[in-house]
A and B are shown apart, each in its own frame.
Chain A
């Protein structure tokens, strides 16, 4: 997958989980929790959306890497490239 257009895709999934959030107000580096009262249920729904869209497994212990848009994009990028490298070596 081309990773340059990852951020709009991740943002779109975030907005599906939190449709009442104004995307224009989003600070991509700040935690969702601090900006939008994001709680554990929102985080879980976000992880499920990322899992479905990108076919990546996200262990519970990795939820903390999904705290902001910037972090989530990085996490997904690493997960995808990790899976690609794994597939090539096998």
Chain B
């Protein structure tokens, strides 16, 4: 049975993407997780993986073509099509629409009314994008309007959004819809720093660990332990995610920002997370993000420590419900047992969705991160 490989949704605001390059040819055998195409979105060029095992039968789209989310890009042989990676997300994300389109695209074009033809997929997409079919010239059989025609019209009507537009839209939605509350907690980093220094003094440069990996590991463990901070808020309220995928806000040169995910971070050690974080940062900055990393974060960590700020008051990335900010690591007077000493400290902050959690559980969440940082060898 032939299955279709569809233009994936690589973020809640993505309506279309441009195929940049095929990494496979007809006849190639592919495995789930293989990168088979490069797709350009407003977030940059992203490596897109296939979500089924099979053989490539036919490439349906030429490089350079812009198509909507959910449009078929290629035909593969296989036994089942699995949903795109956003299956945990709320119904508001485009994934279910993509699945619906998949079911419809195999039907032949049929007339809507005499003298007016459009494929079901084209109709669905036009409806989703708010484009009137009546004004379009069809390029399909008998002048039927195809998905391509709708995509061309969409591209001509609206210029593709820049990454700044995407960030602006997501942050506006966040501040419009999410009742944020904020907490902060200054933590003693002495134990973590000592552990890092000792580990790094004996480690080859490739195995050294930065504080960021400890923060991600500690946040992931807190997100697993306490409900209400890890998941998505959708049309039907909050859905706790079973896996913990920690989005890491990474600044790109030129002032752009992305937050790809470290998958299953709660089940990985700090050294493993460090290796992944290093690889992820290098790939993101050289333009090789993977689709599954772009759309799957269940909670986010943002660090502005290197910019010298004491505390970050971050904005939640919808549809997530929490984000943890990490301030600068600084040496401050610190009192333990009535004795003042100089200690490395860091101020952690939490912005969380008050529809889902409240200040008391938020305080426990931050305390849980702080406690994890006191035993870094266990992270």
Question: In the complex the two chains form, what is the Cα distance from A42 to B205 in whole Å?
Answer: 13
Segment at the A interface, from B127-135, B152-160, B251-259, B263-271: B251-259
Can you name the residue of chain B whose Cβ is closest to the Cβ of A51?
B205
* Residues 268-302 of B contacting A (Cβ, < 8 Å): 277-278, 281-282, 285-287
Question: In the complex the two chains form, what is the Cα distance from A41 to B277 in whole Å?
Answer: 9
A44 and B252 form a contact (CB under 8 A): no
How many residues of A are in contact with the other chain, CB < 8 A? 20
Can you name the residue of chain B whose Cβ is closest to the Cβ of A52?
B206
Question: In the complex the two chains form, what is the Cα distance from A36 to B306 in whole Å?
Answer: 14
- Whether B339 is near chain A, meaning CB under 8 Å from some CB there, is no
B201 and A60 form a contact (CB under 8 A): yes
Specify which of A44, A51, A60 is in contact with B278 (CB 8 Å cutoff). Answer: A44
A41 and B212 form a contact (CB under 8 A): yes
A21 and B253 form a contact (CB under 8 A): yes
A45 and B208 form a contact (CB under 8 A): no
Specify which of A17, A36, A47, A51 is in contact with B282 (CB 8 Å cutoff). Answer: A17
Contacts of A47 in B (CB 8 A): 205
* Residues 22-36 of A contacting B (Cβ, < 8 Å): 36
Specify which of B200, B286, B306 is in contact with A60 (CB 8 Å cutoff). Answer: B200
Q: 1/0 per position for A47-62, CB-CB distance to B under 8 A?
A: 1100100000111100
Consensus secondary structure, chain A interface = helix
A41 and B208 form a contact (CB under 8 A): no
Specify which of A18, A40, A41, A45 is in contact with B253 (CB 8 Å cutoff). Answer: A18
Can you name the residue of chain B whose Cβ is closest to the Cβ of A17?
B282
Contacts of B197 in A (CB 8 A): 60
Can you name the residue of chain A whose Cβ is closest to the Cβ of B250?
A41
Contacts of B254 in A (CB 8 A): 20
A18 and B285 form a contact (CB under 8 A): yes
* Residues 142-170 of B contacting A (Cβ, < 8 Å): none
B210 and A37 form a contact (CB under 8 A): no
A57 and B205 form a contact (CB under 8 A): yes
- A18, A19, A60: which has the most chain B beta carbons within 10 Å? A60
Are A20 and B253 also in contact (CB < 8 A) when A40-B306, A59-B201 are?
yes
Specify which of A18, A42, A60 is in contact with B208 (CB 8 Å cutoff). Answer: A60
A58 and B205 form a contact (CB under 8 A): yes
Query: Which residues on A are within 8 Å of B, measured CB to CB?
Result: 17-21, 36-37, 39-42, 44-45, 47-48, 51, 57-60
A–B complex contacts, Cβ < 8 Å, 13 sampled? A19-B286, A20-B252, A20-B253, A40-B210, A40-B212, A41-B212, A41-B278, A41-B281, A44-B208, A45-B282, A57-B204, A60-B197, A60-B200
